Amino acid sequence: MNDRMTAGHVPQILVIDDVPEDIRSLLALLRAQPWRLSLATDARQGYQRALALRPDLILLDVRMPQMDGFTLGRLLRESPATARVPIIYLTSAGALEERLEGLSLGGVDYVLKSCAPEEVLARIQIHLQLSWREPAVASPARTEEAADDEQLMLRAAMRLISQSLEDLPSLADIARKVGTHDKRLSAIFRKHLGTTVFAYVRDARIRRAQELLADSAMSMQDIAELVGFRSACNFTTAFRERQGMTPSQFRQQVRDPSAPDSQ
């Protein structure tokens, strides 16, 4: 069992919701528990509190102004200080695509606000127990903890791009999903990677294509679609420009380095 529990650790719960009146009954129930409770009423305030408090669990609303819960979830996952904190999305955003997005971002649970407070409490208790059973992890080095907002946005954008190559959002949408705007995100990529977002996407598509060519028997058309090209022809042209050989030649070289075409 994790040292936190054996040492008499008192769980810290962070609730982030811009309309706490909607969960008044749940907050009353949480305050009655032997826990420490902190409430943030907007995503940016919640972000700063999460980094400072390192809570044991976060209850996170989705539909909030300026920065929504999904954007905040992405940033929290990229910070070494909060990457392992369980997040339960507690929201009225009940569409299937919203539930799937929350879970795909690493949420341990997704609960609608129509859920009874007692059930939410039970879910919190379950996830606290599960997190306590995980092996204790050494605290990140101080220099690693100090990742600034730009670095977190960069990491979140890179992860989002790698997971969305097949149907990549626009630059403006990528920026919004990581808590910024397109001009600033472009500047962050140039500053930290020395490249543009477009060039990074192009390279990410070619890297993923190389993996699929080496590790699968998928057709060129299937690989092209999976990495975001409109056709196998466009894919072949881009791959040749970048790698100096066609995708078929690359696959042959990887599988049989002694073949004549791979010399």
pLDDT tens digits, 132-164: 765 544 444 443 444 588 999 999 999 999 999
Q: Is the pLDDT of residue 255 over 90?
A: no
In this prediction, residue 138 carries a pLDDT of 43
Arithmetic mean of pLDDT, 14-32: 95
Residue 146: its pLDDT value, please? 42
Q: Percent of the chain, pLDDT > 90?
A: 81
| pLDDT score of 148 | 84
9 CB contacts (<8 Å, ≥6 apart)? 3, 56
As beta bridge partners, residue 37 has: 13
- Residues in CB range of 8: below 8 A, 6 or more apart: none
- Which CATH entry fits the domain spanning 3-135: 3.40.50.2300, 3.30.450.40, 3.20.80.10, 3.40.50.300? 3.40.50.2300
* Whether the predicted pLDDT of 260 surpasses 90: no
Phi, psi of 110 (to 5 degrees): -140, 110
The CATH number of domain 149-262 is 2.60.40.1150: no
Q: According to the model, what pLDDT value does residue 45 have? A: 94
Average pLDDT over residues 58-69: 95
Q: How many CB atoms lie within 10 A of CB 170?
A: 9
pLDDT value at position 261?
52
Same CATH fold assignment for domains 3-135 and 149-262:
no
Q: Render pLDDT for 82-127 as a digit per residue (tens, 0 to 9).
A: 999 999 999 999 999 999 999 999 899 999 999 999 999 999 999 9
Average pLDDT, the chain: 89
- pTM recorded for the entire structure: 0.76
HEC per residue, the chain:
CCHHHHCCCCCEEEEECCCHHHHHHHHHHHHCCCCEEEEECCHHHHHHHHHHHCCCEEEECCCCCCCCHHHHHHHHHHCCCCCCCCEEEEECCCCHHHHHHHHHCCCCEEEECCCCHHHHHHHHHHHHHHHHHCCCCCCCCHHHHCCCHHHHHHHHHHHHHHHCHHHCCCHHHHHHHCCCCHHHHHHHHHHHHCCCHHHHHHHHHHHHHHHHHHHCCCCHHHHHHHCCCCCHHHHHHHHHHHHCCCHHHHHHHHHCCCCHHHC
User: What are the phi and psi torsion angles at 23 (to 5°)?
Assistant: -125, 35
> What pLDDT is attached to residue 191?
95
Per the model's pLDDT, the better-predicted residue between 256 and 261 turns out to be 256
Confidence of residue 6 (pLDDT cuts 50, 70, 90): very low
* Alpha carbon distance 164, 115 (integer Å): 32
Give per-residue pLDDT as tens, 206-223. Answer: 999 999 999 998 999 999
What are the tens digits of pLDDT across the range 192-208?
999 999 999 999 999 99
Non-local CB neighbours of 254 within 8 Å, separated by 6+ positions? 213, 214
Report residue 251: phi and psi, to 5°: -60, -45
Q: Per-domain residue ranges for the chain?
A: 3-135, 149-262
